[in-house]
């Protein structure tokens, strides 16, 4: 499967994991939350919010515009630390993020 199609497929998987675990939100955070200068907006958003409101839409926008995708992309390490080990969705979400990271890692070889 073509790289852009694989990335899009994995974004849909991540979205479905968030939906399945009732982490998908109907309303976006306040505009100020998007003005964070911290990686992953860690000072203004929960980890799952950043996925929904920043990563997924930005990646879809790049894909839709046929723009180059990021290089040295890896978000799973942050989520290994950021997600509470007691959260039931942690393992399935980490797996989906690791699979997304693997697409970008395979480009380095």
CATH code assigned at 53: 1.20.1440.40
What is the DSSP-derived secondary structure letter of residue 74?
Answer: -
| pLDDT for residue 88 | 77
**In angstroms, how far is CA 81 from the centroid of its own chain?**
15
Q: Among residues 50, 34, 37, which one has the least CA distance to residue 82? A: 50
How many domains is the chain partitioned into structurally?
1
Residue 24, pLDDT above cutoff 50: yes
Residue 62, judged by CB atoms within 10 A of its CB (0-12, 13-18, 19+), counts as middle
Give the containing element (helix H, strand E) for 78. Answer: helix 76-82
pTM of the shown model? 0.90
Instruction: For residue range 48-99, list pLDDT tens digits in order.
Output: 999 999 999 999 999 999 999 988 889 999 999 998 877 778 999 999 999 9
Q: How far apart are CA 63 and CA 35, in angstroms?
A: 23
Q: How far apart are CA 67 and CA 21, in angstroms?
A: 31
Q: Residue 33's domain spans which residues?
A: 3-106
Q: How far apart are CA 77 and CA 107, in angstroms?
A: 18
């Amino acid at each position: 499967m073509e790289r852009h199609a694989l990335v899009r497929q994995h974004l849909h998987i991540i979205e479905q994991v968030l939906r399945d675990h009732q982490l998908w939100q109907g309303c976006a955070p306040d505009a100020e939350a998007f003005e964070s200068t911290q990686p992953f907006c860690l000072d203004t958003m929960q980890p799952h919010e950043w996925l929904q409101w920043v990563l997924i839409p930005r990646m879809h926008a790049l894909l839709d515009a046929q723009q180059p995708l990021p290089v040295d992309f890896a978000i799973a390490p942050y989520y290994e630390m950021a997600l509470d080990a007691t959260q039931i969705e942690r393992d399935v979400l980490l797996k989906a993020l690791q699979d997304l990271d693997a697409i970008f890692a395979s480009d380095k070889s």
